[in-house]
Every structure is written in structure tokens, then in C-alpha cells.
Structure 1
Amino acid sequence: MVDTPIDYSQYEEGRHVNYWTLDPALRAEVERTYPDAAFEWAESELSDLGAVTGHTIADNAEIIDREGHELRTYDKHGEIQNHVQYHPLQHENDQLVYDRGVTHDIFHAPPGRDDPLGFQHVLTQQTILSFADGGFVCPVSMTTGAAIVLEKYVDEDHPNADLLDEYFQGLTSRDYDDHIEGAMFLTEKQGGSDVGANETTAEPTDEEGIYELYGEKWFCSNIDAEGTLALARRPDAPEGTAGLSLFLVPHTKRDGSLNDQLYRRLKDKLGTIAVPTGEVEFRGAEAYLVGEPENGFKLMAEMMNFERLTNATGSVGGMGRCLLESKVQAATRDAFGETIQEYPLMRRDLVNMQTDYEAALAFTFEATRHYADYMANEQRLDEAPADRDDDAARAFKLMRLLVPIAKYKTARMAVDTASYACEVLGGNGYVNGFATERMLRDSQVLPIWEGTSNVLSLDVLRVLNREAAHEELFPLVEDSLDAADHPHLDHLAGTVADEFQSMQEAMISLATEDQDYAQHEAKQLADYIFDVVTAALLIERAQDAIDKHNDARKALVAEWFVETRFAEQDARGITDGEKLPDDHFAEIVRHGSLSPDQLADAAPADD
């Protein structure tokens, strides 16, 4: 709890700060996702990462974005070398992160602990890092994702068990000198989101489990990763996703020579310059089968669940940075005799941004909590949900439903937040060298990475139909609303309960409609689920803050979220005389505390 509102006028911009200690909303949401003992250990680690990210990594990110990396496909003799000449500051950032165990501590016990941490830890770390550079976080995320697949689907009976274990150990090393990075080469020019249309082939060799790959991959982030996962089709395998197998493609072969592939060019991207993204042509590249043949799409989907969630936490981190830049600007920019944070319209805008940020935090870290539970309980993907214990089945259903919604919604919210942050900074916000310009460029890829909004919305329909995920979603919402005890929150919970009922009716309606109509409304349904679930979660968190800290600040956030999403207003609310953002700017935006007694004096706005 922050007794005194934060004075953002003491900062010149949104760096040279500790992103962890300066963000009470992030800290509170993260604490909810960790087991108590794990958070007690992790808090100092997260604070350390927040400090180094806010200083060194954030400074380096500005320079790397401006100067970039260079691909040198050929050497001076015209021979293929596939060499990415990284900016030297990228190596400094990499070492700062990997030596801190970002890809290690969820697989192996870190120093000072007997056991590894849950997946909420790496997702929190990636959120913090995204305050500095979402492009830099991309390889970190894919390295973790590749390690997830290798740990789960390579057992001692696998023909390449020892070989693949070496890659797993490299991907998860805490020593930068021994660490390697991973990647996921999924997209092909003719396929795009239609992965089943992929044409890359895998030809067997004389060695069991060793193949040669032929074909091209069109959008390859972290192009020179030492441990890349790629999908390809073996001879006589069926068409579509059912015929795809998963392979690990190394940068260099076992004999130390360069693998038989060509890095054709780097994409001239709008943003995320820190991660080199290019086109790769496999020319008989040595590749090692991962898991069972023709089961590659299911294995890649396991990695995709994690990548989509990291896209959401990356979106949240980017929103947090843009919000911080906006707060500092509003507290230090004078216009017409006052700082612009003193003007009611700017106050309302900043309250909207803060509320969106805390909404994205609540929903994303709720998804993170269930993903971490799923990973802790799930042993292998080939066990049907009905065969798992109740905790694992519940976590699986909630993870599968909440993750695509979190990815879809937070990505769009990140773009909107970055765009408005540019406006708050005025002309400077549109100029290279000011963080908001880069954050806007970087955020624009978030709705594209790991599935577009349409693909994700259709996945929501699929999960509801195939997994019956609503069976676990409904109790989640009901329990959150039942937590409301304070009269102010109880009133808000009643409004959300009415919307919850309407949302259920919408689900039933789509379940009985023809497929075309259901697809037409899929995005609307995903939006509705996000709004209802988020409102319930914010109410629950507000009651929790009152009970534990005697602080009603979060109740104001919950009220404004419900007001702006669900309230029935005459004349669009212009005539109701309500001005919560102006009255409670210090509490909401600057994290000041509010007595629950003061909250009781103010009835919700639609009374």
C-alpha cells in the first residue's frame, strides 16, 4: 500500500527507475499469483531485475533500436556463413538477463532454493523486461518455450534423448557462456495462419531420428538461434496438420560445421528491431525429431500456449511503460500556467489509461496463475483432460480459454495505450529517441504475433465447444463476485452479475446457431468474456485490498471499469454530474490510499 501518492514530477522520463518498485499495481497482481514462500524468495530478485531493466537494459534498448543488427549471409569469399552481427549492447543485455536465471529458474532450482519456481516467475520477469523492450523479450520467450517442449516430450527412450538433452541444458543454463537461445520457425509464405498448408519436408537419414529438411520459412524471429523448433512433413505423411512432425534444427551440425540452410535476409520491420527476423531456406538442414512422428502440431501448440501468454505479459509491460511515460509528462509539462495533470480532461485520460492497465494486469495474471497450475499438474499432453485430477482439469480448461482472450485483448490495448501516450507527449511523442515512438512501433506487432485477433477469437469458440471451458469459467466469475462484502462493491457486483447472466445467454445462443453466425460474433463474445471476467476480478481484488490493507483505492478502479463498460447512461453520461477521475486522480493514477469509510460516502455513479 502507498500512503502518500507518488510524485512523478521527480522523474525526467520513464527510465532510470526501478520498474518493479515504482509500480504498486504490478506488484500486487504478481503477489497473488505466487505461492507465499515462492514470492518471499522472488521479490528481491524481481526488484533487482526491475532496477537493471529500468537503467542499463532500457538505455541499451534505445541505442539498439536506432542502430540495429546486420545479417552477413556470405563471407568475403562468397561462402555461406549465416552470421548475424549483433549490436554489442545486445550481448550485454543478454548476459544481464540469462545470468539472472530467466530461462533457468523454472526448470532448475536457483541458488538459495531447493526447488524450481513456477511459471508465474518467468512470466513476471518477462513483464518487467517488456517495460524496456518487447523485441528483446521475444528470444527470451522462445528459448523458454523450446525448453518446455524438450522437457515434456523427450524421454529416455527417445532416439535422440542424449542429444536433445544437451540442447535443453543449454537453453536453460544460468551461465551466459554456456547458454543458447531457442526459436520457433512456424510461418511459411503460402500458409500463414493455416499451418496445415506448410510445405517443408523432412527426409530420413540412415540414423534413427535424424532428418534433412527442405523448404523455406518466411517469418523467422531470432533467426540464428542455436536451438530452433520447426514443423515439417515426413514422406507419405498425411496432408494438413495431422501430417506434421516437430524437429529441432541447430545452427551448426554435430560435427561443428554450419548447418545446410540459408539466411536469405532480415525483414525491414516497423519495430522490434532488437530481435533479428528473417527468411530461412532449408537445403537439407540436419534436424532431430522431437516427440512422436506426425504429432508435431500438438507439440508446437504446447509452446504456443506459452508464447501467447508471454505476448500478453509483454503487452502489459509495454502498457506499463507507456503509462509511466505519460504520468511523468503530465506531472512535468507546464501549459497555460499549470502542469497538464491539473486539467480535468487529462486527469480523465490518465485514469482511463490506468484502469485499462490494471484491467489488463488482472486478466493476464489470472491467466498466468492457471497456466502455472496447469504446468505444475500436467505431465504429458497426450493424457486426456478427463484422465487428470480435478485441479489439473480445471487449470487446463481455464488456461485454454483465458490465454487466447488475454493475448487478443491486451495486444489491442497495448497499441491503443502506446498511441495515446504519443499524444500525451505531443510532438516529442512522435520523434525517434523518445520512448513512446518506439513503443508504438513495437506494439503494432503484438496483435500479429502468435495469432491474429480473428484466429484467437475462433480459438475461443473452439475451446468452449470442445473443452467445455465454461464449466470452470462460471464458478471463477461467481466466486469473484461473491467476494464483494463492502456495500460499494456489492452494488458493483450486482451490475456485473446482470452482465454475467447476459454473457451466459450469449454463449448459449452461439452454441445453437450455425457455424457462420457463430464465427461472425466470435470476437464480440471474446470481448464480452474479457469485460465480465475482468470486472469480477477487479471487484475481488478491491475487496481483498480493503480486508488486508484497509485501502479502497482498487474499489475506485473497479468502479470506473464497470462504469465505462456496463453502465446505462443518459446522454452518454454527460449530464449525470459524475467526475470520478477528477475527484480521485491522486488515488487512482498516483496510487494514493483511500479509506473504505470515504468510499462508503460516495455511491456508485449510476445511483
Structure 2
Amino acid sequence: MDPFFQQPPEAGNRFHTDPTLRLALQWRLPDEVYRAAVPHLERLGELAATVMPPLAERAERNPPRHVTFEPWGRRVDRIEVDDGWLELMRLGQRQGLVALPYEDPYDVHTRIVQAGLINLYDPVSAVADCPLVMTDGAATLLNEHDPALARRYVPRLTAREDAWTSGQWMTERAGGSDVGRTDTRAVADSDGAWSLHGSKWFTSATTSDMALALARPENAQAGSRGLSLFLLELRDQSGGWNGIQVRRLKDKFGTRALPTAELDLIGTRAVPVGGLGDGVRKLAGLLSVARYWASIGGLAGVGHLLALARDYAVKREAFGVRLMDHPIHREWFARIAVVYDAMLVLNLEAAAQMGRVEHGGDGTLARLLVPLTKLACARQGVWAGSELLESFGGAGYVEDTGIPRIFRNLHVNCIWEGTTSVLAHDVLRALKKPEPGEAFIEEIVRRLTVLDDPAGAGVRARIEESLESLVPMINTPREDQARRLAWGMARTFQALLLAEFGQWKWQHYQDSSGITAARLFVSQGLVDAACEEAPEALRTVAFGAAAL
């Protein structure tokens, strides 16, 4: 008797095999824009299914290496990365993942098309999109705050061939998200230039051509208000490091093909961006772009695993029945798929809001939706990724299937550009002014009025109930409710978007699955119950003996 070998799952070209991605893009884009973008999406989907996976596999198995000294003792601090990783990065650049918003072929809708492309690229890129994220953010920042530097650097950053990439060096040992504790000093040199002195504890994509870094000019005030933003090129005119020493590369849980280093800046030559001062404020546009990319990373990994798991459910039999035909598997899997749908529609909404702002529209709602989208998609991505890993049984836990690698890489999206609590605090800070909260409430109320499908009436009622709970918290934001508030706002907006998407699917295709998805999503609750316990009691439960 021939031995049994399980037929492996295949994701295929996800632009074809992922109905939520394809239909959601069709829903969000005008017909002429969608038709124009389809060839690009199909082409990148095919590259992601065929060319990219072996490159990513090789890059992950050959992580970056730090060569401190050359054989005769001279310090070189050479960072070696696999050629496959570099080719993946160049492929992303050639496909316009950075260039597209600056070429702007689809006007206000360009960011939505970009989001669809990144969704296809990210899961099989070995996180080669990390430098692309920061490059997109750097180009946005320079265009906004320093026209002279923008003229010099943005064409290089947004090229499709021989393009530069940019790093983003903010994190220090004392600071993390609390950048006000930055210790790096900026010293004015006698020739009018500046040099940076300090350490950066977490610098991703350390093989980039340039970087943006926070530093404190001499005699500047303490805290975040005293920081300025500087641009530095990593190499000097001779090709050596520009006053940079590499302490070590990080050994990380995931993103293993990505070079992430601890650096010392020892007289690194740099120029201020937009003059001295306001360094943290200038980062706002870059952070929005980076958070938007991180939200795509969360949902893209899930979309890829979902495609594999759907194919596996057709091929895999248990107890004489295909997995997809087991009722217990079907219901469980539907709840996972609904979360992916909710992540995707929220991300496309954030992309739409960013596109409007970049074309002169009001940014009040985007100020809330971007951190809410990153918070929700990153965290939901880890939950859904864990569930999907389990759906493969033991095979999901075996390294050479590639599934554990995708699951590990999902976690970084919760860390980059602010953890869940940092993002919730950012939402709270935005709500200190009345306009963002008012815009959020008005947007939901306005869009609820056009949900007229009777099948979605129950969903509309649940959204209205959650909004009633949220309004007092939005009007009087409190630190102890920050996470509950942010999560409630994110899930409520996701429910609204799922209902809109479901109504569109029924009207255009007589497909009721979207309304079913919205009902499933709201059945889990949108706003968590309030915590009624006393603060001191919570302190003891949370921290045990350390609280005494």
C-alpha cells in the first residue's frame, strides 16, 4: 500500500483567491480606477505566489550577519544580508509600493490601491517592506516640512530603480515610545554643520541609505519639546560609515531576515529637517504613514494564512470528511474570516482618509482613524493568526511549512509605531480637543442613515447601542478607560463598514455573505463592559507583591 502524504495547501494568486480583498477594493474604488488598477494587482499577486516565496524562504534561513572587524583588525561593522532579501526589497520598489502615492496615478484613491498591493506583497516579503514603510514616511515628512531637502532626497526615495531607502531612528534605551527621554545630543560644528552623539537602541533596516533621527541640540530644554529632527546619510563620501558604530544586531522573535541593530552615533554628520525645534511634531505625518503600513501588515499575514487554511480545509480529511464539511470547523473558521474582513475594510477606510488629507481634505477624522486602525488590525492579526496556525494541526507548528514564520512576523505590527496602550493613549490625546470626537460621532450617524437593507437592521441597532455607550467616554475621555474606549471605537467603525460592504455585495451580486459577516461580528460585542473594580484592588491583582 502506498504511504499517505498530505497534499500541501497553496495560497495561489490572492487577488484571485481572496474574495474579500478583491471585492472590497472594487467597493471602495470608482469603476474606472478599479479597472485601471486590476492589471497591477494581478501582476503583483502572481509575483507573490511564484517569485517571492523562494526568495523569502532563503532570506529567512540566512539572517543578517554583523562582521565587526576585517581579518587584519580594522573595524568595518559590515552588515551582510541575503541577496534574496535585497531582491525582495527591489521588487517592492519596482512595483511602486513607495512611488505610487507620489506619482499619484489614481488621485485621491491612490492610497487605497497602494493598500491592496501591500496586502499581496507583505506576507511573502520576509519583511523587506520595513525599509519601504520608513521610506514612504520619510518622503511624506520631507515634502511637508523641508522643501529644500525634499527636492534633494524625495526623487531618490520614490524612484522605482536604484532607489534609496530611509531608516527611522527614534528608540533609545531610556525612551522607547517616551521619546522625551532621548539622550542623543546634536552639536553645532564650526563649519555650520551638525554632528550627533548618542546611542540608538532599535534601528530597523540598518542597511538604508539615510535615516531620520531625533536629537537634542545643546542647551535645548528637557523633554520632548527640546528635540529636533535630523537627516543623516549612513555613509560618508569615501563609502565608510558616517560616524556610526554598530554595537550588535538584534536576535528577534520574528522579522529575522530584517537587519535591526543597536548603534552608537559618534560625531555623525546630519542636517536639521525644517530648522531646529518641533522634532516630535514633525514626525506626525511619518507616523501616520508607518501606522497605516503596520495595519496592513497585520491583516495581510492573516489574509495569506486564511488563503492557505481555506485550501487546506478542502484537501484535508478528518474522520472521513473534509475539514470544510465539519460543522464545528465551519463555524469556528467563519468567525476568523469575519475578523479578517473587519480588519480589511477598516484599513481601506484609513487609506481613503489619508488620501483625502494628502489631496487637501480635512484631516480631523483621519487623526483618530489611523491609530485606531493600527491598534485594531495589529492586535486582531495576532489573534486570527494564532487561530489559523491551529487550523493546520501539527503542520502549523512545523518550521518548514513556513506557517510559524508568518505568525511570528505578525507580532511586530503590535510593537512598531506604538503598542496598543500607546495608541489608545494617542487616541485619548486627540480627544482632548472636541473636533475629532465630534467628527467620529457625526460620521457614524451620517453613514447609518444610508444603511437601508432590512437584513442589516439588527446590525444597525447594535452599532447605535455601542455609539450610545461611547459618546460619554468620547466627550469626557479618561486614562483608565483609554483601551476600552479605543477598542470600542475601532470595533464600532469596523461594524459600520462591514454593514456597508455587506449591503453593497447584496445590491451588486445578490450575495448575502457580507450581511452575515456583519451579524457575526457584532454578536461578539463592540464595547467591552466597564471595569467596576477599585483602582487599588486592580493594582494588587495586576502586580501582586510588587504593588505592596
Q: TM-score, normalization: structure 2?
A: 0.91
Q: Is 1:485 matched with 2:485? A: no
Q: What are the superposed Cα offsets for residues 496-515 of structure 1, whole Å, 9 maximum, x if unpaired?
A: 2122222213334x44xxxx
Alignment of 1:288-303 (within 5 A): 288-303=271-286
Q: Which residue of 1 aligns with 2:173?
A: 189
Distance 1:199 1:29, change over 3 A: same
Q: Which moved more, 1:315-324 or 1:98-107?
A: 98-107
- Say if 1:195 and 1:477 are closer, same or farther in 2 by CA, change over 3 A: same
Offset from partner CA, 1:382-417 (integer Å, 9 cap, x none): xxxxxxxxxx33xx1111111111111111111111
The 1:254–1:31 alpha-carbon spacing in structure 2 relative to 1, beyond 3 Å, is farther
Q: Which amino acid aligns with 1:155?
A: P
**What amino acid maps onto 1:50 in structure 2?**
G
Question: For 1:130-160, what per-residue CA distance to the aligned partner results, in whole angstroms no more than 9, with x for missing partners?
Answer: 232462221111111111112222224xxxx
Conserved 8 A contact 1:62-1:433: no
Count of residue correspondences? 523
Task: Percent identity, please.
Answer: 28
On the 8 A contact 1:483/1:543 being kept in 2, the answer is no
* Other structure's SS at 1:363 match: helix
**Could you tell me how far apart the structure 2 residues matched to 1:308 and 1:491 are?**
32
1:240-296 CA-to-partner distances (Å, cap 9, x unmatched) read 111111111211124544311111211001111121101010010111211121121
Q: Which residue of 410, 413, 435 maps to 1:446?
A: 413
* Structure 2 gap ranges (5+): 1-5, 529-548
Which residue of 1 is the match for residue 134 of structure 2? 142
Deviation at residue 35 of structure 1 after TM alignment: 4.8
CA separation in 2, counterparts of 1:467 and 1:561?
Answer: 29
Question: Match for residue 102 of structure 1?
Answer: 97
Note if contact 1:200-1:232 (Cα within 8 Å) is conserved in structure 2: yes
SS of equivalent residue, structure 2 residue 275:
coil
Cα distance in 2 for residues equivalent to 1:537 and 1:299: 31
Report what 2:152 is aligned to: 166
**1:214 CA displacement:** 0.4
Match of 2:366 among 399, 414, 439: 399
Aligned with residue 550 of structure 1, among 499, 510, 513: 510
Displacement after TM superposition at 1:446 (Å): 1.8
Q: Which residue of 2 aligns with 1:198?
A: 182
| Matched position secondary structure for 1:72 | strand
Aligned pairs for 1:489-500 (under 5 A) are 489-500=456-467
* Alpha-carbon distance between aligned partners in 1 of 2:10 and 2:283, rounded to the nearest angstrom: 37
CA distance in 2, matches of 1:238, 1:68: 41
Once residues 261 and 107 of structure 2 are traced to their aligned partners in structure 1, the CA distance between those partners, rounded to angstroms, is 38
**Is 2:510 the counterpart of 1:524?**
no
Structure 1 portions without partners, runs of 5+: 1-9, 378-391, 512-517, 569-607
User: What amino acid does structure 1 have at the position aligned with 2:184?
Assistant: T
Q: Distance in 1 between matches of 2:140 and 2:526?
A: 40
Residue identity in the other structure for 1:223:
T
- Show the counterpart of 1:69: 64
- Candidates 364, 380, 385, aligned match of 1:413: 380
Tell me, yes or no, if structure 1 residue 84 matches structure 2 residue 79. Answer: yes
Structure 1 residues 255 and 167, CA gap change in structure 2 (3 angstroms):
farther
Q: Which amino acid aligns with 2:36?
A: W
- TM superposition shift of 1:81: 2.6
Picking from 26, 30, 54, the partner of 2:21 is 26
TM-score by length of 1: 0.82
Cα deviation for residue 467 of structure 1 reads 5.5
1:351 corresponds in structure 2 to 334
More divergent stretch after superposition (350-359 vs 471-480)? 471-480
| Farther off after superposition, 100-109 or 44-53 | 100-109
Aligned partners of 1:221 and 1:276 also within 8 Å: yes
Q: What amino acid is aligned across from residue 145 of structure 2 in structure 1?
A: Y
Moved more, 139-148 or 31-40: 31-40
C-alpha separation in 2, matches of 1:287 and 1:471: 42
Give the whole-Å Cα distance in 2 for the aligned partners of 1:194 and 1:557.
39
Which whole-Å CA distance do the structure 1 matches of 2:494 and 2:106 have between them? Answer: 35
Mapped to 2, the partners of 1:220 and 1:108 lie a distance apart of 28
SS at match of 1:286: strand
CA distance in 2, matches of 1:136, 1:286: 27
Deviation for aligned residue 1:125: 2.1
Q: Is the 8 A contact 2:243 2:267 kept in 1?
A: yes
CA contact (8 A) 1:108 1:116 kept: no
Counting only pairs closer than 5 Å after superposition, residues 439-588 of structure 1 correspond to structure 2 as 439-466=406-433, 468-508=435-475, 510-511=476-477, 518-565=478-525
Match in the other structure for 2:295: 312
Cα distance in 1 for partners of 2:134, 2:30 equals: 25
Q: 1:360 to 1:350 in 2, by over 3 A?
A: same
Q: Is the 8 A contact 2:469 2:527 kept in 1?
A: no
Q: CA separation in 1, counterparts of 2:527 and 2:370? A: 27
The aligned counterpart of 1:593 is none
Distance 2:128 2:333 in 1: 28
The CA RMSD measured in Å over matched residues stands at 2.2
Alignment-derived partner of residue 543 in structure 2? none
1:272 to 252, 255, 275: 255
Hey, what's the Cα distance between the residues in 1 that align with 2:7 and 2:282? 46
- Equivalent-residue separation in structure 2 for 1:34 and 1:216 (angstroms): 45
CA distance in 2, matches of 1:134, 1:363: 24
Are 2:9 and 1:13 aligned?
A: yes
Asked whether the equivalents of residues 172 and 201 of structure 2 are also in contact (C-alpha less than 8 Å), the reply is yes
CA contact (8 A) 1:142 1:184 kept: yes
- Cα 1:116–1:525 shift into 2, 3 Å: closer
Paired residue secondary structure (1:272): coil
2:21–2:116 contact (8 Å) kept in structure 1: no
Matched to 1:141, the amino acid is: V
